[in-house]
Amino acid sequence: MPAMEIDETLQLFLEEARDHLRDIETDLLAIETETGPADVDLVNKVFRGIHSIKGAAGFFGLNRIKELSHSMENLLNRIRNLEVVPGRTAIEALLKSADVLSSMVEDPSRSEDVEIGRLLELLRDANATRSKASATVDIPDPQGRVIFRIPEDDLELARKGGKNLFVMFFDMVKDIDAKGMHPLGLVKELEKTGLIVESRVAHDADGNLLGDAGFVPFHVFYATVLDHEMTCLLTGLPPSSVVAFDGERKPVAAGKLVAAAKKAAPKPSKRASQAAPPPERKTAPSTPVADPVVTESDKPEPEAIPAGATPRGAAQGNTSPSSLRVNVKSLDRLMTLAGELVLSRNQLVQKVGSKNIAEIQASSQGLSLIISELQEAVMSTRMQPLSMVFGKFQRVVRDLAQDLGKEIRLEVEGEDVELDKAVIESIGDPLTHLVRNAVDHGIEMPEIRERSGKPRQAVVKLHAYHEAGKVVIDVSDDGRGIDTDAVREKAAAQKLVDPQHLANMTEKELVNLIFLPGFSTAKVVTDISGRGVGMDVVKTNFTKLGGVIDIESRQGRGTRIRVKLPLTLAIIPSLLVSVQDETYAIPQVNLVELVRIPAKDVRNRIERIGDALVMRLRGHLLPLLKLSQVLGIATPTFVHPESGEQKPDRRTRVDDRRGPRERETPEEKERRRNADRRYHSESAINIAVLSAGTFQYGLIVDRLHESEEIVVKPLGSHFRNCSCYAGATILGDGRVSLILDVVGVTRYMNLSDVAGSDRSRDEESRHRQKLRDAQSMLLFRVAEHEQFAVPLSLVSRLEVIPRASIEKIGGRRTIQYRGGSLPLLELSEVSQVHPLPDQDEYFVVVYAVGGKEVGLIVSRIVDIVEASVEFDESTFAQPGIIGSTILSNHTTLLVDLYDVVKTSLPGLVKAPELDAGRTGKVLVVDDSPFYRRQIAGYLKECGLEVVEAVNGDEALALLETTGGIGLVLTDVEMPVMDGLELTRRVRSIESLRHLPVVAITSLSGEEAERRGREAGVDGYLVKLDREKILAEVEKLLLRRGHR
């Protein structure tokens, strides 16, 4: 057999061995985790894998591989026969051996030098019941030369089930090659019907006697249920070459071929590739015994790939990534498409000649269809299952858990989800880091778990699935979760974050701090996760791939890290934007939304805090970057919208806009009259809101263009220090456009999540300050020219009623409502306002007083507005009206819903009667005199004594100097010291710790309430809700009184 062919054969063997070994690890781990008796099928599978490696290794003269696999096989066999329990030692030994075996298979030429003595010992120890110095049986050939030395145990094993034992003498050239057979094929064939106990190419046969190089003897010691005749048939050997072994030291006398076999003798060689083709062949070409010339047709067919070896991608890890196994079907499809492409091109060329536009268009459409399909087909050849990455984690988790003394089960789901080869290759390391982190930091020791009522065995879960065109990988554990206090401490100790901001951070923000460079919360820096490679690197790695990482953690319950990855990297959908005449691409995966701020709104929406620009977007503040500033695009120009003329832009700040017109100077008015471009629609600001890992920012660009699928190309080495680009692409017109690295830009501009949120918090509180007394107001009319308002928070419902449904009973109007009657009130009954006009339908504002609902009849509902206003209490003061203000450009009267009821239905309104002497005074803290008076009014009505303060600071001073304060009612948003801070201070003063504090605010909502509760307030109420305020005051004061 020519050297090249045996090289090919060796290659085949190695690839197969790799396949076997790859599965073996997973299988062994599965065997180990099984409770009770071993899963025979699984053990069998491993056994067969190792066994076939052993068999073929012998054939290639890879003795160390053979020895090692042989030992493994022995142990596996005993496990299979339930003679050895697959415990930790056994599996450990097998895993270690599989590791070494893998590395030997990777580099067969050096495998003979690998020291395997220790491993063999390990395997033998695991095989403890086995007699130590196992006796061996020598199998001699007819000349009495020992060709095999087989341990008795093996012999016993081979005989089991009444198998026959044969020594078979093949001549590699004549019996295998010349018959069109393949050595590996033969080995496989034999394995099907029996067991190759031992096999080898007879290097050590004394072959120089006749100088006959035509023989390459291959000896096989074979155990089979077949009889002698059948074995001969199977192998195609003459009966004389198959010698039955009867357990005696001497096999039955052999025929002449046996004698011939002894003649052949290539020198022993360590190189597998040289093992079979004897160099002597060249020296003695004329030997007549066996013609060494192998004709083309005799070549072994390369189809010896076993049926079970499904096409897979390049093996993971150390195997060469430059080759890829592709499904033949995919190739066929590519071929078909290529054919289609050619046809389509021909058509197009023809039609271009005919100059028929419609036909050309049709052809080009067809062509583009084929190209899309082709693209998809090519991409699909690059897709690899995630099992390539997930596969190794069983081992990682097992080994780590063992080292750390933890009990952990790894659950894997979605291994068959496919990703681009490039993505698969790049996520291994960061994912490993996440898994190791989960095991090392996340999972508690079993004793601790038990103490906290969790099962001893922890679960780490890897779950991959498709979602919205992306692949999501969750790495979750049911461990201790992230200790946000520890994070806070650590961040403070390492001065990673300003301590003040740290105190205000939400749980989620704290958890995200672990992505900061140099962060690790592990109390002990272990060699497993604490090697300085932090989560920041993990995050960066994922982000580089266009991925997004998110972390969710619940203390004591566990942590889940979610990674979202694009399916491929080579072709990505992206948005084209431009600054002046430069076009850039932004990967769609980073794009959250596009915002266009019309020129007139710029001043309201974009604000400047120090040097930073921020934009208000649905209640959140978004840091803004100007692309032209990021890239240092010099001399900005302004293109005149009408003339197209280019002028230098005098604006240096985005927020440089005119103010409201009433504040304009005559000079400004003049300029505006000349069609001030700052108001022109072209002057609107375009913002791409981008996601950079865990936070978002807005990028201001001149123009937003269309979305395109772009092909990512690498940039040259001169740009390795430019962090702002992820690559380049070629646009439709052939020009090159750079792809922005959304994360790189933030790094370059030193924009970080933490900094961003700090800034936004400052701004947020400033903004809230502005809106601090904002309430939703319901505007309505009774008579058309008078507008009224009530706080929406007090309104239960709005109803429309036909006039006919109004009944008049006992001088009181009512309607049938929800099975009862609803008393109807009209404002003009109480206040000096115009009466209700005649209408077919009325609106009823339903609200509750004293636990009973009443309705206020109005003619028209105008609007609901957010208003942050002070009411004038004097101008329109009268019963039923609290005060007046301007809302929606109209003078509006604020209706006192309680007063209306009190006047019309005095029986309904109940104020708690409280004794100020027993309960103590109530401190009302509010910076708004209006609300202060309102609340004080409610309280005084109940007979309470009220002390007032305008902010938290003053309130604290009062609390210290004035005795007998039994309750604090405080506004939340106030200058100098806000209500939450006041509450915190009160709680920290020993003598005041139990003083009830109720927050009264115009900002309601869960989040605000949660923050209030965190600060330590006893109640959280909405301003002007007299009923609830009084009820809460009563409850708290009485509770205190009982104490």
Task: State how far Cα 292 lies from the chain centre.
Answer: 61
Candidate ranges 265-273, 626-634, 814-822, 965-973; the one touching another protein (CB under 8 A): 626-634
φ, ψ of residue 110 in degrees (nearest 5): -105, 0
Residue 225 or 730: the one with the smaller Cβ distance to another protein is 730
Q: Is 582 in the site for another protein (CB under 8 A)?
A: yes
User: Token pair 């101008």 is at which residue?
Assistant: 875
| Interface with another protein (CB under 8 A), residue from 722, 877, 886, 989 | 722
> Of the candidates 28, 146, 173, which has an alpha carbon nearest to the alpha carbon of residue 90?
28
Tell me the backbone φ, ψ of residue 978, rounded to 5 degrees.
-85, 175
Question: Would you count residue 632 as binding another protein (CB under 8 A)?
Answer: yes
Burial class (CB in 10 A: 0-12, 13-18, 19+), 1038: middle
Q: Does 724 bind another protein (CB under 8 A)?
A: yes
- In the complex with another protein, the residue whose CB is nearer, 527 or 733, is 733
If the CB atoms of residues 717 and 889 are measured against another protein, the closer one turns out to be 717
Residues 739-768 that bind another protein (CB under 8 A): 748
Listed ranges 169-177, 269-277, 717-725, 921-929: which one lies at the site for another protein (CB under 8 A): 717-725
Cβ(984)–Cβ(970) below 8 Å: no
Q: Which CB, 621 or 728, lies closer to another protein? A: 728
Work out which of 495, 650, 661, 718 binds another protein, going by CB under 8 A.
Answer: 718
Half-sphere exposure of 74 (CA within 13 A, CB side): 28
Q: In this chain, which of 715, 755, 798, 1038 binds another protein, going by CB under 8 A? A: 715
Residue 336 C-beta: closest distance to another protein, Å = 25
Of 161 and 714, which CB lies nearer to another protein in the complex structure?
714
Distances in whole angstroms, Cα of residue 926 to Cα of each of 417, 953, 968: 59, 11, 11
What whole-number distance in Å separates Cα of residue 385 and Cα of residue 312? 9
- Beta-strand relationship, 582-587 and 736-740: parallel
Considering only residues 633 to 692 of the shown chain, the ones binding another protein according to CB under 8 A are 633
Print the binding letters for residues 52-81 with another protein: x by CB under 8 A, - otherwise: ------------------------------
Q: Pick the closer one to another protein by CB: 719 or 817.
A: 719
**Dist CA 122 CA 303 (whole Å):** 38
Kindly tell me which of 344 and 583 has the beta carbon lying closer to another protein.
Answer: 583
Out of 737, 831, 904, 951, which residue is the one contacting another protein (CB under 8 A)?
A: 737
Q: Which is nearer to another protein, 725 or 817 (CB)?
A: 725
**Contact call for residue 713 and another protein (CB under 8 A):** yes
- To another protein, the closest distance from the beta carbon of 750 in angstroms equals 14
Count, residues in the chain:
1043
Residue whose entry in the numeric block shows the structure tokens 């969790």: 454
- Tell me the number of residues near another protein by CB under 8 A: 24
- Give me the phi and psi of 612, to 5 degrees please: -95, 145
Please count the other Cβ atoms lying within 10 Å of the Cβ belonging to residue 209: 11
Q: Position of tokens 């067991």?
A: 195
Identify which range of 271-279, 302-310, 729-737, 896-904 contacts another protein by CB under 8 A. Answer: 729-737
Q: Which of 738, 801, 858, 894 binds another protein (CB under 8 A)?
A: 738
Phi, psi of 458 (to 5 degrees): -90, 160
Among 132, 192, 355, 735, binds another protein (CB under 8 A): 735
Q: Contact between 717 and another protein (CB under 8 A)? A: yes
- Please name the residue that has the structure tokens 């499809």: 333
Q: Which two tokens stand for residue 510?
A: 């704290």
736 binds another protein (CB under 8 A): yes
The answer to whether the beta carbons of residues 224 and 231 sit under 8 Å apart is yes
The answer to whether 374 contacts another protein (rule: CB under 8 A) is no
Q: What letter does residue 522 receive in the DSSP assignment?
A: -
What residues from 424 to 453 belong to the interface with another protein (CB under 8 A)?
Answer: none
The residue among 95 and 700 lying less far from another protein, judged by its C-beta, is 700
> Does 716 help bind another protein (rule: CB under 8 A)?
yes
Strands 146-151 and 136-140 come out as: antiparallel
What is the b/e burial string over 684-705, where b = at least 16 CB atoms within 10 angstroms of the residue's CB?
Answer: ebbbbbbbbbbbbbbbbbbebe
Q: Which is nearer to another protein, 688 or 815 (CB)?
A: 688
* Residue 728 interacting with another protein (CB under 8 A): yes
The binding track of 534-573 with respect to another protein, each residue x by CB under 8 A or -, is: ----------------------------------------
Nearer to another protein, 734 or 917 (CB): 734
Is residue 45 classed as helix, strand or coil in its secondary structure? helix
How near is the Cβ of 284 to another protein at its closest, in Å? 47
User: Which tokens sit at 1024?
Assistant: 């002007």
Residues 202 and 275: beta-carbon distance below 8 Å: no
| 508 vs 713, beta carbon nearer another protein | 713
Q: Which C-beta is closer to another protein: that of 519 or that of 748?
A: 748
Residue 734 contacts another protein per CB under 8 A: yes
What does the alpha-carbon distance between residue 968 and residue 1000 come to, in Å, rounded to a whole number?
A: 10
- Which residue in the set 725, 836, 965, 987 belongs to the binding site for another protein (CB under 8 A)? 725
701 touches another protein by CB under 8 A: no
Joined together, the tokens standing for residue 904 give 């019309």
CA dihedral angle for residue 374, residue 375, residue 380, residue 383, rounded to 10 degrees = 160
Pairwise CA distance, residues 221 & 139, whole Å = 9
- Among 225, 343, 352, 730, which residue interacts with another protein (rule: CB under 8 A)? 730
Residue from 519, 638, 679, 719 binding another protein (CB under 8 A): 719
Q: Which is nearer to another protein, 745 or 916 (CB)?
A: 745
Is the separation of the CB atoms in 861 and 798 below 8 Å? yes
- To another protein, the closest distance from the beta carbon of 983 in angstroms equals 49
Q: What is the largest CA-CA distance in the chain?
A: 136
Q: Rule CB under 8 A: is residue 732 a binding residue for another protein?
A: no
Count the Cβ atoms, other than its own, within 10 Å of residue 937.
13
Beta carbon of residue 747, minimum distance to another protein (angstroms, whole number): 12
Contact predicate 669/715, CB 8 Å: no
Q: Which is nearer to another protein, 330 or 580 (CB)?
A: 580
- 3-class state of residue 179 by DSSP: coil
Give the shortest CB-630-to-another protein separation in angstroms. Answer: 8
**Radius of gyration over every alpha carbon of the chain, rounded to an integer in angstroms:** 43
Q: Would you tell me which residues interact with another protein (CB under 8 A)?
A: 582, 631-633, 713-719, 721-722, 724-725, 727-728, 730, 734-738, 748
